[in-house]
Amino acid sequence: MKILVRSVRIMDKTSPLDGQVRDILIEEGRIAQIGESLTANEAQVVEADHWCVSPGWLDLRVASRDPGFEHKEDLDSVREAALRGGFTEIVLLPNSSPVVDAKDTLNYVRRPLGGPVRVHVTAAVTRKAEGTDFTEMIDLHRAGAVAFTDGENPIQNADILLKALLYLRPLNALLINRPEDRQLTLYGQMNEGVTSTLLGMKGMPALAEEMMLSRDLKLLAYALEQAVLPQDHSHSDTLPMLHVSLVSTARAVALIREAKAAGLPVSCDVAAHQLVFDDSALLGFDTNLKVNPPFRTPADREALRQGLADGTIDCLVSDHSPHDEECKNLEFDHADFGITGLETAFSLSLMHSGLPVEDIIEKLTSRPRRILRLPVANIIEGQPANLTFFAPDLAWRYEKTASLSKNTPFLGQNLTGKVMGVINDGHARWFV
């Protein structure tokens, strides 16, 4: 593979060429040369005027239904959706069937599939992600699990969460949890508030997220007092032990801000679609807007934007959650939670976060890699070519999805910020 990309603006805060327009020559999967007016014999030439290039994007929260529910999404379709969304790396939740709670299932999902999208897999904290008995976390860590989480099932048992933190600390491994007290959200359909009252639907109070988050942060502080440090902990001390997934309320953002100020090793993310809607959007009973955590109030949405701006919220994620027609095209209270978001996460972030594009890219590249202890991707000569090309000002219409499921409210809509191509692991794909 020999590709010469001409006149592309480099967007990489770790590169001395950040913000500059250059030609980039890629040979044998590496960045061979960066300069002006480059030439290369027998190279595929891509004219990239008005494009930008950044390190390849990484999505921290993706659900694939393979194994077990491949009719909703399989490993091929989820990688194709990731490609079209600009992601060269995705992190899969363990909630398949069987759950990724043993090495054989982990190895199945992690097996080499080729192409530009690299798949990382989280393993379950508890068997079948049921919150009762621990998995063999040390073995799973050694087998390649990139982090540990029960994924779509928040850990309800405080003792399980505390022991998981203590077990993972010597391994310098990450625990991911989504804070939700399911006793408080039982039978809930949407955010508890004025709109849920008007619609006569059972609400899911913000308190359910905030109480559980407060518990998790207190357990993290306690675990730090009790933990056995790894032998070489000089670098791990600065990395988060706990990653809070899908914050959605103003108080949750404030709690994480306070925890970080107190020096707790915690990080968090927000789903791109949470920046678009508030709970009034559900007045039309569109089941494609039924998500968990639910869309909250306008004040909560503004707090999420502030949290992104001041660095409290580390990452943007798609929270890609595919469901077939049988799970979505029915009465609202019977429909499953979830949106497919891989293909729209960048555009929604660009249009609704209030962040400059450079900061959005940072929250899709260096921040999630650091949290996961993965090597940072750089746009520097000699480095592997792990790149995403995009046109931030280009409008496009989301006409068709590469996912096997279509549970998104954005199909048929005009969006801004188009992915033009990706290069990774010696493979290139262009969407021009």
Phi, psi of 58 (to 5 degrees): -125, 130
Residue 368 class from Cβ within 10 Å (0-12 exposed, 13-18 middle, 19+ buried)? buried
Encoded tokens for 121: 């897999």
What letter does residue 68 receive in the DSSP assignment?
Answer: T
User: How is domain 2-52+383-392+413-430 classified at the CATH fold level?
Assistant: Urease, subunit C; domain 1 (2.30.40)
pLDDT at 167: 95
Cβ within 8 Å of residue 417, ≥6 positions away: 346, 347, 350, 351, 357, 390, 391, 392, 393, 394
Task: Write down the pTM of the prediction.
Answer: 0.95
> pLDDT at position 432, please?
86
CATH superfamily of 55-371: Metal-dependent hydrolases (3.20.20.140)
Asked if 316 and 353 count as a contact pair (C-beta separation under 8 A), the reply is: yes
- Answer whether 267's CB lies under 8 Å from 240's CB: yes
Domain 2-52+383-392+413-430 matches domain 55-371 at the CATH topology level:
no
Phi first, then psi: what are they for 25, rounded to 5°? -105, 125
Q: What is the pLDDT along the chain (432 residues), one digit of tens a residue?
A: 899 999 999 999 988 999 999 999 999 999 999 999 999 999 999 999 999 999 999 999 999 999 999 999 999 999 999 999 999 999 999 999 999 999 999 999 999 999 999 999 999 999 999 999 999 999 999 999 999 999 999 999 999 999 999 999 999 999 999 999 999 999 999 999 999 999 999 999 999 999 999 999 999 999 998 765 555 544 445 799 999 999 999 999 999 999 999 999 999 999 999 999 999 999 999 999 999 999 999 999 999 999 999 999 999 999 999 999 999 999 999 999 999 999 999 999 999 999 999 999 999 999 999 999 999 999 999 999 999 999 999 999 999 999 999 999 999 999 999 999 999 999 999 998
- Strand (E) or helix (H) holding 308: helix 298-309
For residue 370 the two structure tokens come to: 């650091």
- Cα 103 to Cα 81: distance, rounded to the nearest angstrom: 26
What is the rounded distance in angstroms from the CA atom of residue 29 to the CA atom of residue 22? 18
H/E segment holding residue 385: none
Query: Please, what's the b/e burial string for 394-431 (b: 16 or more CB within 10 A of its CB; e: otherwise)?
Result: eeeebeebbbbbbbbbbbeeebebbbbbbbbbebbbee
Whether 286 is catalytic is no
What pLDDT, on the 0 to 100 scale, is given for residue 421? 98
Pairing of strands 242-244, 175-177: parallel
Domain boundaries, the chain: 2-52+383-392+413-430, 55-371
Task: Please tell me which residue in 181, 216, 279, 319 is annotated as part of the active site.
Answer: 319
Token pair in block for residue 253: 């953002």
